[in-house]
Chains A and B, each alone.
Chain A
Amino acid sequence: MPLPAGTTTELARPLTDDDVLLLRRDFPALQQQVNGHELVYLDSGATSQKPISVLDAERSFYERENSAVHRGAHTLAANATELFENARTTVARFVGARENEIVWTSNATEGLNLIAYGMSNASVGRGGADAARFVLTEGDEILTTEGEHHANLVPWQELAARTGATLRHIPVDDDGTLRMEEAERLITDRTKLVTFTHVSNVTGVINPVEELVRMAHAVGALVVLDACQSAPHRVLDLAALDVDFAVFSGHKMLAPTGIGVLYGRAELLDALPPFLTGGSMITTVTLEASGYLPAPQRFEAGTQKVSQAIALAAAIDYLSAVGMDRIERWETELGARLVDGFSAIPGVRVLGPAAGVHRAGLASVDVEGVHAHDVGQFLDDRGIAVRVGHHCAQPLHRRFGVTASTRASAYLYNTTADVDAAIDGMAAVREFFGVTS
């Protein structure tokens, strides 16, 4: 595969603004003006822009191979199936997994629900003895954290309500880091599942995965990792991290909407009862009952997201060609610059770790006297796109004593000039709204 335009062959060399400006040419949506300014897109934490190679991959599929996968004997169907399964291989290699450990979902939210409903089904006897380790009853505990996206909270609230299990959470400190002494106390023999985000979508905190996995496995609990904010931005080896399940969404990593990934250790996926059922996931069907395929097919009922999966593989090829290690380093630099800049502005409070502490390439702030919505509107007028609101993390915002914040989140196509534009804009907000004292 040809390297995307702008990539260099010296993979170890750190990215520079010049490299990034070359990469940016691959992203049509970034070549536009908004409100009379060059677009500064700092909302990749919500969703990323797409390079031409990804758009082309999807279009090319529809122009050539388009047909039903895993069905039919004709050439197009065979070619489509091959591309679809190759995409699975690409994803598996990207996260240190095997093909049969990668399940297509429509997004991370569906992946988390798939696990929760699989456990729910096991808890009412589906899946038999093999599924015993997924059974939850009264007295069992599910452990999440105070810093989760609603996607990694609400499904567990529902699972607890259906099974009688108790949902607990690890609290966070004032700086958004997990209180590990509380984790130690909360992870007990009653704990059956521990689920947490790898990187916070609000604070950029990087949670101590290895330590939590060690504590959870010591009591025989399963570990679910929400990798939504890590898979797109960091080198990720799920097998090495030793998590049992992980989820992420394609749209946050240069791929289209409608495609996501559930990773599960093979022996767990083969034992977990299915969530959605119907065509394509069965062996023998009678009018009374059905047998199910092994993973991953047992979780892929119905017509699949074929073009999106192929486009996700193209996105991963793009990211890999640039180099995840380089992307991670670049974004760490941008994140530090954001936090340094925001923290230096009077009346602006950065939620999460203080300047100087390692974090991902994003920062959320509370601006004293100005509502996040107004901050976002002010920045938009300068062509700067940021996210405002609670970022689907109401409990964490409550913990910080605010209802909403303004988040700037960077990706591989952002330059230091983008970050500086956001800082300059932020520095002008309070004066515009007349709240400087």
Chain B
Amino acid sequence: MSGLAGLYQQVILDHSREKHGFGLEPTADASSHQLNPTCGDQLTLQLHASDGVISSVTWEGAGCSISMASASLLSDLAPGLSLDDARERIALFRELMHSRGAGIDDEDELLGDAIVLEGVSKYVARVKCAMLAWVALEADLAQLDASR
């Protein structure tokens, strides 16, 4: 799919409205706040984990459809992943975002539905929007490491 339809696939528009994982819990094992100062997008993302496995990711924030959909897709993907797996998926997603439309071979399925964000990689200015939630999760994982 090319052009606007490739960027804003229906799955993305749906997630941007449905926002899976939206709503913060009173406590979390780690939490971080991320801000994109150029456009004002921001979100707080909580990590809930036990025995080295993510049980859920919850978040609240405001921003464009890409940043919101990306957070929603991440909270679908994360549950059940080990902390190391989560780190690996973040790295893979970053690689996808920096692929400038080329995508990543083979390992697509590791990202689940989040692969629909591939179209964002053609729009360099929007990569930051898609990365926002993933950078937040990365910060949460670092917090867990530091507190261990």
Seen from chain A, the residues whose Cβ lies within 8 Å of a Cβ on chain B are 35, 370-374, 377-378, 381, 388-390, 394, 397, 403-404, 432-435
Contacts and interface: CB of A to CB of B under 8 A. Distances in A.
B62 A373 contact: no
Contact of A433 (B8, B39, B63, B129): B8
Nearest to A371: B64
A108 B129 CA distance: 30
A402 to B, nearest CB: 9
Given A377-B4, A377-B7, A390 B40 contact: yes
B97 to A, nearest CB: 16
B40 A374 contact: no
B68 to A, nearest CB: 8
A403 B64 contact: no
9 contacts: A372-B64, A373-B63, A377-B126, A381-B4, A388-B39, A389-B40, A390-B40, A394-B40, A435-B17
B1 to A, nearest CB: 13
Nearest to B38: A389
A378 B13 CA distance: 13
Interface string B49-65: 00000000000001111
B17 A434 contact: yes
A381 B123 CA distance: 11
B115 to A, nearest CB: 20
B33 to A, nearest CB: 15
Contact of B65 (A371, A381, A389): A371
A373 B129 contact: yes
B13 A433 contact: yes
Nearest to B65: A374
Contact of B62 (A394, A403, A433): A403
Contacts of A403: 40, 62
B134 to A, nearest CB: 18
Interface in B41-81: 41, 62-66
Given A371-B63, A373-B66, A397-B40, 14 more contacts: A370-B65, A372-B39, A372-B64, A373-B64, A373-B129, A374-B65, A374-B66, A377-B123, A377-B126, A381-B4, A403-B62, A432-B8, A433-B13, A434-B17
Nearest to B68: A371
For B17, B64, B123, B126, the residue with the greatest tally of chain A CB atoms inside 10 Å of its CB is B64
B100 to A, nearest CB: 17
Nearest to A35: B3
B39 A373 contact: yes
Contacts of A378: 4
B133 to A, nearest CB: 15
A35 B40 CA distance: 26
Contacts of B13: 433-434
Contacts of B3: 35, 381
B65 A433 contact: yes
B147 to A, nearest CB: 32
Given A371-B63, A434-B13, A434-B17, A404 B126 contact: no
Contacts of A370: 65
A180 B62 CA distance: 34
B90 to A, nearest CB: 23
Contact of B40 (A377, A381, A404, A435): A404
Interface in B108-139: 123, 126, 129
B42 to A, nearest CB: 8
Contacts of A435: 17
B124 to A, nearest CB: 12
A151 to B, nearest CB: 16
A394 B37 CA distance: 10
A389 B39 contact: yes
Closest 9 CB pairs of A and B: A373-B64, A371-B64, A403-B40, A381-B4, A374-B65, A389-B39, A374-B64, A404-B40, A373-B39
Contacts of A388: 39
Contacts of A394: 40
The interface centre, meaning the residue of B7, B38, B40, B63 with most chain A CB atoms within 10 A of its CB, is B40
B39 A404 contact: yes
A381 B8 CA distance: 12
Contacts of A371: 41, 63-65
Contacts of A381: 3-4
Nearest to A381: B4
Contacts of B39: 372-373, 388-390, 404
A394 B42 CA distance: 14
Contacts of A35: 3
Contacts of A397: 40
A377 B66 CA distance: 11
Contacts of B7: 377
Interface in B82-100: none
A164 B3 CA distance: 54
A370 B39 CA distance: 14
Contacts of B63: 371, 373
B62 to A, nearest CB: 7
Contacts of A373: 39, 41, 63-64, 66, 126, 129
Contacts of A390: 39-40
Contacts of B40: 389-390, 394, 397, 403-404
